Structure 1
Amino acid sequence: MADTSRRALLLMSLLGTRRLWSLRDLSARLEVSERTVRRDLDTLRELGYPISTVRGPDGGYQLGTGRTLPPLLFDHDQARAIAVALQTAPNTVFGLQDDAARALAVLQQAMPEALRTTMESLRVNTLRNYWEFPAPPIDPAALSTVGSAVRQRHVLVAELLRPDGTRPMPDEPDFAAARRIEPHHLVVWAGRWYVVVYDLGDDRWRVHRVDRLHARTTSAAFASRALPGGDLGQFVMSSPDRGDTPAAWQCTGNATLNLPADVVARWAPGGSVVEHLDAGHCRLTLGAWSWAGMAGILVTFDTDLTDLHPAELRDACRDLARRFAMISTVDPSPASG
């Protein structure tokens, strides 16, 4: 019954994406026999969905027109929430934007007129915020592999990839042999997909970027483990070795901070990289729209800064100090009333 229900929902989604489907195409997309497709179509008709049959060599099946589909169980608030969510879904997976648009179109078609009007009244235009640091969209297949392993509690065999998605050669400094890992949690943060794993090679918890893993599932199952500290968000955001690389900016530089790496990683903007140096120091690489902007970000950590690169960043810090020094410490006198 569960398989039949899932197949019926997928069939409705397919019928809503274009005007006409041949029986052969539906059978191929659903991966069932043509006889099963006919039976599912009859089931949908019995439930009141207007599915028409077009006769002839170029015929097939389509959603009927001029009739109202059975209402979905949403109220106006839920309809608005769906419309906004599908139009503003982050584009962190290849094809997600198109899939979200198709899903919205299918849902609107299936809504009663009043709810459809509510959804259509919310046409959203999204603009890029320059404080967003999203990574390039990742392959849905890679995400499905990791997500299924997390859900089914199956061990992964994974290799670490270069930032461009290719495998390093054995003679390269960043080469790492394939590891057996237990994937426990899938996390999205700052426009990036991460997986929190327990590494069976060195018996420690790690955070990996999903798009930096070439993983295959094994049949080996594992039991759930308790994450150290119990705070998933804190663990991900304070892990400096999670595989990030600097985001593309007009200006990119770095500095040594007199703070531990896990503290800086917790508060550093997305798209920056934190390198552990010792228990009390780390190196932060980040970008900004200007050297003064980068200097301002570094100032927010309220700690000593050394070894700044490049020279433009050092000059910006000096200019910023000069501007701050020019600010009067005496409050201006209140205007006479």
Structure 2
Amino acid sequence: MLETSARLLRLLSLLQAHREWSGADLADRLGVTPRTVRRDVDRLRELGYPVNASPGTGGGYQLGAGAELPPLLLDDDEAVAVAVGLRTAAGQGIEGIGESSVRALAKLEQVLPGRLRRRVGALNAFTVPMLRGAQPSAVDPGVLTELAGVCRDTERLRFEYRDHDGSPSRRTVEPHRLVCTERRWYLVAWDIDREDWRTFRVDRITPRPPHGPRFTPRTPPAEDLAAYVSKGVSTRAYAVHGVVRLFVPMAEAAERISPSAGVLEAETSESCVLRTGAASLDVMVIHVMMMGFEFEVLVPEDATETIRTARDLLSRALERTSQGPPRTRGDAGRTPGTRSGPGAA
């Protein structure tokens, strides 16, 4: 009995992991016969899990949205509370839980009954969060779960995309992964028309279903996708690329420098290297200087004159500031301590 229960949980997990499984694939994953898979599917249905089956050579099993919330687990109010909480966490990019929230929300909404979907939608549509500080561009949690679904199901995705200058374009991609920074969400995907990997900001994506067909996943552009996206948004996207040595331990630098501002590499126990980019060399030098660390620009090699110009400009500003506010025309010829205007002695 214990072995059967464990197998049912494993079967349910497999059905949640992909959109559709063939009976042979499930049997192979579970180490049982196709007949046992059919019996286990019937048991899941008896427990309230809506498992759909399509006949034929191209058919298979698919976990559908049910008329009743599957027993485990959550009553209606608890399911709504969890869905709203996951949407909030996903939309705000809370460090450490944003990506997990999207995956969990995609699983939950897959089996959420229609009546509960309407309740969740109403709560999100008519709730205005009061957030402190500057916030990133809003990301629709529904778009996040839709993108997570096509990544999971290895389905081609069609969408409209707005570039940084607002120019629209139509894209067809093979989606691979969603990557979350502390401020933004990005989609890493193979661009069919450009025949190359691309990184897209999710807040600029408007999906245009239907999605599909299915595709065979490609080897990703990097093992560390977080570092790949960080390099893309902080360096490759800019005209000027820089390599800067910071005379501070990498852990301390990472407290002030976000992944979207540059890629940090440890050098010694007391220094690290920052790879970053900017629209111009002037902007890059000022940006690095504002980080507040002692630094040395390694690349580009002709940064010396730019640094010298910035130094001279700051020196003149400091000299003027230390002299106090400039005297106005009305102050000319007036000695300290004298008064003017009505009532003056």
Which structure is higher in helix share?
2
Q: Which category of TM-score, normalised to the shorter sequence, fits these structures?
A: 0.3 to 0.5
| Structure (1 or 2) with the larger CA radius of gyration | 2
Give the alignment's TM-score, normalised by structure 2. 0.46
